Structure 1
Amino acid sequence: MGFFQLLMKKKELIPLVFFMTVAAAGASSFAVYSLRKSDVILDRKRNPEPWETVDPTVPTKLVTINQEWKPIEELQKVRRATR
């Protein structure tokens, strides 16, 4: 019996199939969206240290409330010394 023949025979399965299809499409689209974000790095050969290119003045948290981003002086000194 084909899939659509089964749905026509048992009409109570139609909402279940619809919601499962919508959920699968939503999960797939979110996975693709997450992989395209700039925070996700899949290629480690071209950029092995991605934290070096992060701008400290741009907050990357999901929620930032009354927080100021300032560079740490000691970290800047170490960074300059290692380059």
Structure 2
Amino acid sequence: MNLFQLLMKKKELIPLALIMTVAASGASSFAVYSLNKKSDVIIDRRGNPEPWEAVDPSVPGKLITINQQWKPIEELQKVRRATR
């Protein structure tokens, strides 16, 4: 309750508190989004020792991707098939 009393006494701190709250919630929500949706963020290394095998190369890994086209490299596909 002490924070609210301070904000009511010094009203010039209200915009600063609002900006800091929005920034902290945005950073937290992006961290949660990255943990859930990004393929390059890995929490459990023991459960899947080779997580890069589960990545779909046709799905972009960035927030914004402009004109990305993915084509498989034939030599790498041959090596992958030979090692399995």
CA drift of 1:38 comes to: 4.0
Aligned ranges 1:1-83 → 2 under 5 Å: 2-39=2-39, 40-56=41-57, 58-62=58-62, 63-65=65-67, 67=69, 69-83=70-84
Give the count of matched residue pairs.
80
Q: Distance in 2 between matches of 1:49 and 1:27?
A: 29
Q: Could you tell me the percent identity over the aligned residues?
A: 73
Runs of 4+ in 1 over 3 A off after TM superposition: none
- Coordinate RMSD, CA, aligned: 1.9
Unaligned 5+ segments in structure 2 are none
Q: Distance in 1 between matches of 2:61 and 2:45?
A: 22
Question: What is the TM-score with the length of structure 2 in the denominator?
Answer: 0.75
CA drift of 1:66 comes to: 5.8
Whichever of the two has the greater Rg, that structure is: 1
